[in-house]
Amino acid sequence: MRMDADELIETFEFLGDWEERYRYLIELGRELPPLAPEAHVDANKVRGCMSQVWLTHTVQPGPPVTLEFQGDSDAHIVKGLIALLFKLLSGKTPQQILETDVNGVFERLGLESHISMNRRNGFYAMVERIRHMAADPAFAAR
């Protein structure tokens, strides 16, 4: 299920304390569809993450053309962060993805001060990878 930024923030606020929010993130990660074994390759690996993270996408023909993301990680919290990103960005057009202020949403969720610096850096590396996918010049022609 996709959510916009306000829905995600509302859900986090409803959960209350950070122990519940971490559990929610872990549960989101468990709900991710499995990434095909053949997608666990170096080309799909996200650099800048301490954990192992793989991201890939499929293009859904339009109009308008949208992107669907798939991913996996070997760390539960990171897998939850991946799921959170997908809820926010999957199913959007490349332009909508590029216009989404993911960093602002991350801060509004309170994640900036509640996850480690290494996980924050990894999260931002995932965001950059997704933005890179959305910025593919091939989409400008569609």
Q: What is the tens place of the pLDDT at every residue in 86-132?
A: 999 999 999 999 999 998 888 888 887 778 888 888 889 999 999 99
Strand 53-60 versus strand 66-73 pairing type: antiparallel
Q: Which two tokens stand for residue 95?
A: 């332009």
Whether 93 is in a domain gets the answer yes
Q: Which of 11-15, 45-49, 66-70 has the lowest mean pLDDT?
A: 11-15
Helix (H) or strand (E) holding 105: helix 102-108
Q: What pLDDT does 3 receive? A: 67
CATH (domain of 59):
3.90.1010.10
Q: How many domains does the chain have?
A: 1
Q: Which two tokens stand for residue 107?
A: 């801060």
- Provide the residue range defining the domain that includes 14: 5-137
**Any idea which residues carry the catalytic annotation?**
49
Whether 116 is in a domain gets the answer yes
Q: What pLDDT does 48 receive? A: 83
Task: Measure the CA–CA gap between 79 and 96, rounded to whole angstroms.
Answer: 23
Q: What pLDDT does 94 receive? A: 94
Provide the sign of the torsion angle of the four alpha carbons 39, 43, 46, 52, taken in this order. Answer: positive
Average pLDDT over residues 18-29: 89
